[in-house]
Amino acid sequence: MPQLAPMNWIFLFLLFWMTVFTVSIWLWWMNSKKYSFKSHKTSFKHSKKWPW
């Protein structure tokens, strides 16, 4: 049993980091989508402000 305990801890650690990794990627993807929408809106505003 003492030999099995560290393996369980390593597995839990890897699982935790995998979840953190996936959540961070998902959040970054959502933020990038929001930023792209914002940039499009700002570009439209700039084009209206500066007709040239």
Per-residue pLDDT for the chain (52 aa), expressed as one digit of tens each?
456 677 788 899 999 999 999 999 999 988 877 665 555 555 555 555 655 5
Flag whether 49 is in a domain: no
Q: What is the pTM of this model?
A: 0.48
pLDDT at 15: 96
| Residue 37 to residues 1, 27, 28, 32, Cα–Cα distance (Å) | 54, 15, 14, 9
32 located within any domain: yes
The single residue listed with the structure tokens 């792209």 is 36
Residue 12's alpha-carbon distances to 25, 30, 39, in angstroms, are 20, 27, 40
Number of domains in the chain: 1
Report yes or no on 48 lying in a domain: no
Q: What is the pLDDT of residue 40?
A: 57
Give the domain extent around 7. Answer: 1-36
Per-residue pLDDT, 52: 53
- Inter-CA distances, 25 with 9, 37, 46, Å: 24, 18, 31
Virtual torsion, Cα 17, 19, 25, 28, nearest 10 deg: -100
Judge whether 3 lies within some domain: yes
